[in-house]
């Protein structure tokens, strides 16, 4: 009688090979769990961030997410093949003449061959336990939420989602878009032909000035009290229809507010102001988006103007001070000047650490 524990050698060998094959499959599954899926999740995260909105703020969010992950990364993908590939000593498991074992060997080799070379797939990405935790902890929605919170409060949700680039373009063209005016006026600006944009401020004068008065009430910093009082007088004059004196005073308040942000210099001060605003705007993080949008219209408002030059038709601080004319002192420019002064002063209230009290 054959003992139940006594098995033919070839049967025992088959069972051992099956056990080793199961171990091989388990290793492949571990590779999927610890490498393939986290990589796919990471790429999916980047894709979702990029698709969330086609604008610089979201692209910066994606970049910041990548930097968080990269801070944990060192080049070691070339080690993955040693760690995860199915380095089974096949010849020690099967005899060269055993047909069944040859099929097992062929199957194992096929699995090995099917594994992609991850060392070339993502050469900079290390997927140790620390980076796995970092990848899995990133919440794309948190970046979207942060972006929405940092948008100017006068923007509608649709404008935050779909119109960031166009609104940024408007600001770069010299039109205030942060803090004031209200979203309906912004939408009219977005829909207007380029040549008609200044007229939007004139057509919506009452609404824009109402917005300026409401936002100015929020400026309560003691260091800004004097400027806030004077801007209130400029707004009162504009509301009463005295647009020229309103523009003159608002232009001076724009200049003085800038000096509280960028310390005065003896030479080339306005060039310095424009350079600093341009650099901060171009490199602004999500948290600095309001600052950038509030200040970037200043670059147009400080456009070069010298005696003998054609008087600019758009609002220009220098022309307002040195070239009094009906071309510069227009109803649209008066409203734009008041809105720009309000936007800058409200943003400075939001960033009290930037106040230069010596100015």
d(CA 14, CA 20): 10
Query: Which residue blocks in 173-242 are alpha helix, DSSP H?
Result: 183-191, 197-203, 205-216, 225-239
Contact 336, 208 (CB under 8 A): no
SS3 156: coil
pLDDT of residue 286: 81
Q: Is 330 left (phi over 0), alpha (psi -120 to 50) or beta?
A: beta
Contact 165, 56 (CB under 8 A): yes
pLDDT of residue 147: 79
Nearest one of 71, 37, 67, 70 to 143, comparing CA atoms: 67
d(CA 200, CA 182): 12
d(CA 321, CA 38): 61
Helix orientation angle between 99-114 and 9-31, rounded to the nearest 10 degrees: 10
From the number of C-beta atoms within 10 Å of its C-beta (0-12, 13-18, 19+), residue 357 rates as exposed
- N residues, the chain: 359
Helix orientation angle between 129-137 and 56-70, rounded to the nearest 10 degrees: 160
Non-local (6+) Cβ contacts of 140 within 8 A are 45, 48, 49, 52, 65
From the number of C-beta atoms within 10 Å of its C-beta (0-12, 13-18, 19+), residue 310 rates as exposed
Cα 10 to chain center, whole Å? 65
SS3 307: coil
pLDDT of residue 136: 52
> If you compute the radius of gyration of the chain from its CA atoms, what whole number of angstroms results?
33
pLDDT of residue 48: 56
pLDDT of residue 46: 55
Contact 111, 70 (CB under 8 A): no
Nearest one of 254, 359, 252, 329 to 299, comparing CA atoms: 254
In the chain, where the domains are located = 9-145, 152-354
pLDDT of residue 84: 44
Nearest one of 109, 95, 111, 340 to 215, comparing CA atoms: 340
Non-local (6+) Cβ contacts of 334 within 8 A are 238, 243, 244, 246, 247, 250
d(CA 36, CA 266): 60
pTM greater than 0.75: no
Q: What angle do CA 164, 274, 298 make, to 5 degrees?
A: 55
Structure tokens at 209: 């000035």
pLDDT of residue 300: 98
Long-range contacts of 152-157 (CB under 8 A, 24+ apart): 152/177, 152/178, 152/179, 152/289, 152/290, 152/293, 152/294, 153/179, 154/178, 154/179, 154/180, 154/181, 154/182, 154/183, 154/186, 154/211, 155/183, 155/186, 156/183, 156/186, 156/187
pLDDT by residue, tens only, the chain of 359 residues: 444 444 444 444 444 444 545 554 555 565 556 555 665 666 555 555 555 544 555 556 556 555 555 444 433 333 444 444 444 444 444 444 455 555 555 555 554 455 444 444 443 444 444 444 554 555 556 667 777 888 999 999 889 888 888 999 999 999 999 999 999 999 999 999 999 999 999 999 999 999 999 999 999 999 999 999 999 999 999 999 999 999 999 999 999 999 999 999 999 999 999 999 999 998 888 889 999 999 999 999 999 988 889 999 999 999 999 999 999 999 999 999 999 999 999 999 998 888 876 55
């Amino acid at each position: 009688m054959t003992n139940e524990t006594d098995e033919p050698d070839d049967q025992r060998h088959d069972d051992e090979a099956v056990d080793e094959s199961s171990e091989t499959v388990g290793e492949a599954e571990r590779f999927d769990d610890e490498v393939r899926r986290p990589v796919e999740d990471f790429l999916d995260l980047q894709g979702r961030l990029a698709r969330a909105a086609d604008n610089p703020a979201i692209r910066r969010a994606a970049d910041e997410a990548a930097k968080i992950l990269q801070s944990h990364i060192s080049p070691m993908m070339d080690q993955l093949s040693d760690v995860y590939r199915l380095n089974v000593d096949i010849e020690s498991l099967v005899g060269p003449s055993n047909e069944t074992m040859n099929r097992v060997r062929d199957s194992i080799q096929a699995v090995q061959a099917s594994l992609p070379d991850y060392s070339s797939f993502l050469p900079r990405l290390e997927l140790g336990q620390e980076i796995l935790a970092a990848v899995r902890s990133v919440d794309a929605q948190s970046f979207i939420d942060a972006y929405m919170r940092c948008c100017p409060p006068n923007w509608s949700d649709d404008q935050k989602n779909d119109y960031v680039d166009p609104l940024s373009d408007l600001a770069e063209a010299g039109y205030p878009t942060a803090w004031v005016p209200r979203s309906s006026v912004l939408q009219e600006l977005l829909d207007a032909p380029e040549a008609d944009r200044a007229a939007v401020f004139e057509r919506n004068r009452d609404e824009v000035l109402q917005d300026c008065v409401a936002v100015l009430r929020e400026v309560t910093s003691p260091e800004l009290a004097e400027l806030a009082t004077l801007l209130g007088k400029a707004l009162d004059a504009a509301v009463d229809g005295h647009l020229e004196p309103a523009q003159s005073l608002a232009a001076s308040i724009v200049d003085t507010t800038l000096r509280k942000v960028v310390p005065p210099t003896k030479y080339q001060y306005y060039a310095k102001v424009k350079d600093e605003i341009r650099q901060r705007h171009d490199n602004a993080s999500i948290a600095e988006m309001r600052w950038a949008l509030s200040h970037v219209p200043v670059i147009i408002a400080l456009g070069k103007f010298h005696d003998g030059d054609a008087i600019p038709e758009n609002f220009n601080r220098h022309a307002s001070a040195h070239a009094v004319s009906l071309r510069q002192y227009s109803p649209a420019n008066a409203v734009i000047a008041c809105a720009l002064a309000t936007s800058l002063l409200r943003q400075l209230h939001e960033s009290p650490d930037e106040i230069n009290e010596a100015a």
